[in-house]
Amino acid sequence: MTSTVSTSFTLIPNQKYRRSSRRSKPFCNTVNTDSESLSTLGNFKALPLEIFQMVLKYLSVKDISMLSMVSKAISNRLINYISTSSGNRRLLLQDFHNLEISGKKEGSCVLEHYRSLGLLLKRCTLLLPTKDRLKYIHKILSEVSCFKLSGCPSPLHCLGLQCYGVFLQILTAGWDELECHRVFNFLCELSNLPRKVQTVVSRKPGSARKLELRIRLFCRSVLLNHWIHRSDSAFWLTRILKPWPMVNQARLLYIIFGPVSSLNGHVVWQKMIEGPTDETSLKGLADAIKLLYDTEAKEWTADDVISLVDELSVVPREWLMENNARLLILSGNNICFTFMASKAVNGRAVELARLVVFLALVCEKDLYCMDWAVKMMQKVCKVFSTPGERNNFLQSVENAFAHMIMDMLQSVMSGDRDEEDSSFLNLFHLVNAQANFHKEILYLTMRSTST
């Protein structure tokens, strides 16, 4: 035993350590004895806790998270540090609202910070069971009101939920499905998400606009946006949708992925009903449908997804068929064909024929190859079991073209000045669509007769 001050790291009174380990109360059962924890502190055991924490101030969050992997004792000290008010102040940045002033870079800086913090807490809590881990982490984060579903006064201009999302993504990366189920349940309990979803789906669409917006932002920013693998996104989307009956799933899908107003972020419920819409308004919905259909999301059969698409087309009332057709095109060949085939099997030839005409119209308007629409019709023809049914369907397609052209012509002739342009344009597109559609059929027929 030495007594010189200069080399006397070991001389720092033992009491100091005892005090420090008493402070690590929530986890003191993991720090059984002073001697055990001291032996894994290495040279840091020379430092009183206060100095240790001062040193931490000079380390980046990434470095601290590296340090946490050194030993259990160090990791416990770091957990203590995170819970202190100075640790809290430093680690829980709440600079979520300065997007305009600081520009994009600053925003990504906060996100980056929470990514590192996620890693730090992941590493520090590595040895705890999932439930305790979540509780502890929640305790740390519960101070941040912008992480709550309805916690931020200005949710459209806030990066809080996104930061929470990247934090959770890093934290749960590599966790198995059972643990992720736990995380979802835990988040539901904290945010009261199921209750809130119940409220919006049981009311008239748009009657709880602000709540719809909150749910949309929470689901997207926290639960859906940050996954790297599509299978993870599908897992989380399934968690959100599956507890509900199909009707509510469709409504919820529209709330989360449907078109919103650029002014206030509110869901635009009339978009699919009042007039032809554009691809951007439908893209979110189409991508979500594709996600459920494509990824081997075990919990969804093709039938489930098709029923969901069907249900979606009456949210909140029956959509214009042009918008339906556009959604199907954006959802990809497989979904489009399966949807149409299910109509064919159920003998809904007339409805199906109208859909073919609208697919042709959208191809014409949105500049897709008309060849695609013809091939799709050809494929669907094969679903009909008898030549009679097939001919009846083809006849219905031609009738649908004729009826729609007559209808549009009538509205052009009777329309007032304002409307004239748009109905004339529609008629123009439809006539061209018909011409192009039949041109492709002629090509196809001539090719097959000439070979």
Per CB under 5 A, residues contacting Zn ion are 96, 146, 152, 158, 160
Nearer to Zn ion, 136 or 147 (CB): 147
CB of 215: closest distance to Zn ion in angstroms? 16
Query: Could you give the 3-state DSSP secondary structure of residue 27?
Result: helix
CB of 151: closest distance to Zn ion in angstroms? 7
User: What are the structure tokens assigned to 381, written together?
Assistant: 């023809």
CA nearest 292: which of 283, 301, 280? 301
Nearer to Zn ion, 96 or 164 (CB): 96
Nearer to Zn ion, 18 or 157 (CB): 157
DSSP state of 208: T
User: What are the structure tokens assigned to 256, written together?
Assistant: 């989360």
Q: How far apart are CA 325 and CA 327, in angstroms?
A: 5
Determine how many CB atoms are found less than 10 A away from the CB of residue 264.
10
CB of 188: closest distance to Zn ion in angstroms? 21
Nearer to Zn ion, 67 or 146 (CB): 146
CB of 146: closest distance to Zn ion in angstroms? 3
CB of 104: closest distance to Zn ion in angstroms? 17
List of residues 6+ apart from 321 with CB closer than 8 A: 354, 355, 358
Nearer to Zn ion, 145 or 231 (CB): 145
CB of 214: closest distance to Zn ion in angstroms? 12
CB of 153: closest distance to Zn ion in angstroms? 7
Nearer to Zn ion, 160 or 205 (CB): 160
User: What are the structure tokens assigned to 208, written together?
Assistant: 């709880």
Nearer to Zn ion, 158 or 363 (CB): 158
CB of 161: closest distance to Zn ion in angstroms? 8
CB of 54: closest distance to Zn ion in angstroms? 31
Nearer to Zn ion, 48 or 151 (CB): 151
Query: Could you give the 3-state DSSP secondary structure of residue 95?
Result: coil
Q: How far apart are CA 266 and CA 252, in angstroms?
A: 14
Q: How far apart are CA 125 and CA 14, in angstroms?
A: 27
Query: Is there a contact between 404 and 430 (Cβ–Cβ < 8 Å)?
Result: yes
CB of 63: closest distance to Zn ion in angstroms? 28
Nearer to Zn ion, 17 or 96 (CB): 96
Q: How far apart are CA 280 and CA 142, in angstroms?
A: 36
CB of 155: closest distance to Zn ion in angstroms? 7
CA angle 174-179-182, nearest 5°?
Answer: 140
Q: How far apart are CA 319 and CA 333, in angstroms?
A: 21
CA nearest 47: which of 74, 82, 69? 74
- In total, the chain counts a number of residues equal to 451
Nearer to Zn ion, 96 or 136 (CB): 96
List of residues 6+ apart from 238 with CB closer than 8 A: 292, 297, 299, 300
What's the distance, Cα to Cα, between the start and end of the chain in Å? 102
User: What are the structure tokens assigned to 413, written together?
Assistant: 């002739």
Q: How far apart are CA 313 and CA 385, in angstroms?
A: 27
Q: How far apart are CA 157 and CA 152, in angstroms?
A: 9
DSSP state of 267: B
Nearer to Zn ion, 152 or 374 (CB): 152
